[in-house]
Structure 1
C-alpha cells in the first residue's frame, strides 16, 4: 500500500492511503471497528488501474478520535468527514466501495455529493431510519448484541474480526489491534444514532437515486437480512438483483477476494 499521510479536517486528523492512478478514483470505506488496511486485497488487485483512496474513519485505525464524538460518530457525521477529506484531496469525481458501516456512509454520500459516479456496497442493508430499519435490515446474532458496546472483551474483539474478515483472520494480531484501538464511543454513539433515526432514509434513496449501485453480499452473511435487501426497489442497480457470493459471510472482499475483485473491476469499468 502507499505511504500513509494525514489530513486535518473539522472532525479530527484522518489517516489516508492514496495510490496514484488514472481513471475515476475509487474511495474505499471500512466497517465498524475496522481500518483501511482491510482493503488490502482490493488495493493489490487494482493498483495501476486507477487512483485508490482508503482512509481510517475518525476514531479508527491511525486517525484521531473525533473532536466532537456525538457530531461525528453517526452515518451523516462520518459522511461529512469523508466529504471534507475528498475536498482536501481535490477529488472532484469518485466511485465508492463501502463495507458494512462504510456502505451506509457511501449511501449517505450519494445524497450529499454531486460527484459520485457509482457505489458498490456489501454487508450493508439500505434501511429506513429508526428501530424499524434495524429490525428489517439486520438478523439477531451474538455479534450484533455488542456492536454498540463501548468496551469489548478479548473474545468479542476476536468475534468482530472473524465477522468482518472471516475465520481465517480471527487470530491476525494486526486486525485484532485495530478493533481494540477503535474509540468505543464510535460504536456506542453510532448505534444510538441509528436507533434514534438520525440518518437519511436509505431504502428510499436506493429506490430514487440515479447513481449506479452494485450490491454484492456474502451468501452466508450472518448479520444482514439478505431477503430484505433482495426485496427492495432499486432505480439503478448494476445487476438484475443484488448478488450473493457463495462461501462468504460478512467479508466477501476478504474471504472470496479473487471473485469479489473481478466483480468490482467489472462494475468500475461499466462506470468508466
Structure 2
C-alpha cells in the first residue's frame, strides 16, 4: 500500500449535474471530485474523454445494489481541477491508486469506458495486486482506428478554433442542433447528445487545454498510439470482460475482435444496436452484463511469483484459472 500520498480528507460536498452527491478530496494539491454509492466490494467507474461521472448516472443505482461504486471525475474533467499536469494514462492510473488509498479501498473491480478503458488497463498493469476484475467498455487501446473528431484535437490551432466555436451564441446553436439530431432514428447521430455535453464543456479554456494534453498523449494524426497488444498476455492473471455496441462510430466494434484475439480468455459482449455509450443507451442490459460477469468470476488473487513469471516469458506460465481468475 502506498504510504507517501499527501492528501486531505474529503471536506466539501455538493451536487453533480445528475443530482448525485459530489464529494471532493485534495491529493497532491489538486482537488478531485467523485461520487460514491452503495455498499459491498468496490467497483470503480472511469469515464471517457471529455465526459465526467454523470455518464454513468443511468447505471450507478443498479450497480450500487451490489457494490460500493466509486465514480470519479478524472483530473482535467468535470468538477475536478484542471491543472497543467501529467495527463498520461500512467498518470491517471496513479491518480486512481491514490484516490482509492485515501478512501481506504485496497482492491476494486475497475470498469473503464473509451479513454477510461485505457486508464483501467493501465491501472491493472501497474497495480495488479489492487485489481480484482477488468471491464472495458468501447475501450481505447485495442486498435489504431478512432473518429477523426478526436484526431482533430491534436492539430495546431485546436485551442483557438474551439475557443471561437464555444462563444455563447455559437455554442448554444451547436449544442441545441446536436441534441436534436441525437433524437433521429439514425445510428450515425445517436451519440450526439453526449457529444453536445462534451462540446459545451469546452467553453472552459482550462478544460480545452486539459483535453488537448490528454489526446496528444494517446492519439496522433494516424490514430491511437497507446495499445494493450504488447501486454495483453497479462490479462491471464485476472478476469476481463469487453463490452461494445454494434453501432459505435467513435471506436469501431471490430476492436472487440482484437481484444478476443489478444486475450482469448476474456469475455466478449456485443450489445446489438448500441453506439459508443452502451451504458446510457441500454443501462438495464449493461448493468445485467456487468453484474453477471462479476457474479460468475472470482476476484483475481495476486501472486508476485506468477506475475513475475508472466513478465519474464510474455505468455501463460500455467496460471490456474478458476471462474476466469487466478488461483491462490
Report the TM-score, using the length of structure 1 for normalisation.
Answer: 0.81
Shift of 1:179: 5.4
| Structure 2 match to 1:14 | 32
| Residue 193 of structure 2 is aligned to residue 170 of structure 1 | yes
Q: Point out the more displaced range, 250-259 or 166-175.
A: 166-175
Name the CA shift for 1:264/1:147 in 2 (closer, same or farther; >3 Å): farther
Paired residue secondary structure (2:124)? helix
Distance 1:200 1:227 in 2: 17
Name the CA shift for 1:227/1:167 in 2 (closer, same or farther; >3 Å): closer
Paired residue secondary structure (2:262)? coil
Shift of 1:101: 0.9
Q: Which has the higher contact order (CA 8 A, sep 6+)?
A: 1
| Structure 1 match to 2:145 | 138
Distance 1:188 1:57 in 2: 14
Name the CA shift for 1:157/1:192 in 2 (closer, same or farther; >3 Å): farther
Which of the numbers 1, 21, 32 marks the counterpart of 2:49? Answer: 32
Which of the numbers 253, 260, 263 marks the counterpart of 2:286? Answer: 260
| Structure 2 match to 1:186 | 210
| Structure 2 match to 1:133 | none
TM-superposition CA deviations, 1:128-147 (whole Å, max 9, x none): xxxxxxxx4324x4433434
Which of the numbers 91, 103, 110 marks the counterpart of 1:77? Answer: 91
Structure number, greater radius of gyration: 2
Name the CA shift for 1:146/1:199 in 2 (closer, same or farther; >3 Å): closer
Alpha-carbon RMSD: 3.1
Shift of 1:5: 1.2
Unaligned segments of structure 2, at least 5 residues: 1-18, 166-170, 183-188, 299-328
Unaligned segments of structure 1, at least 5 residues: 128-135
Distance 1:271 1:147 in 2: 39
CA contact (8 A) 2:135 2:240 kept: yes
Name the CA shift for 1:233/1:171 in 2 (closer, same or farther; >3 Å): closer
